[in-house]
Amino acid sequence: MKESELEKQCIQLLMIYPTIAWRKVKASGQKHSFGGKSFMKKSTLTNMGDLLLCIRGKYIEIELKTEIGRQSPGQKEHQKNIENAGGLYYLIRNFDVFKSIIESHL
């Protein structure tokens, strides 16, 4: 399954629960041109999870990956920072796991 398909399923589930505060992170950079060449300026959101949630006062970040997708070193460092601050961070590869995690926090 593509990451975009997994994201769509996860968002559809989140929309069912009005007590969950959530936001989808768009970590795209800005495109710039200089000297005839184009480049992307990275966003400050580059290493954040794909979905930010607050359930019953608990901060949760969700990083969505395909079965073969891997976290970048920056994403791993961000995960450590979230967990050290008392938040939860989950690396999700399929919808059933996501649904189980959400239901466990309700």
Higher pLDDT, 103 or 39: 103
Q: What's the pLDDT tens digit per position in 55-78?
A: 999 999 999 999 999 999 999 999
How large a percentage of the chain has pLDDT more than 70?
A: 82
Give 29-66 as a DSSP string: -EEEEETTEEEEEPPTTTTS-SEEEEETTEEEEEEE--
Q: What's the pLDDT tens digit per position in 30-51?
A: 555 566 665 555 555 678 999 9
pTM of the model: 0.82
Q: Is 43 exposed, middle or buried (0-12, 13-18, 19+ CB in 10 A)?
A: middle
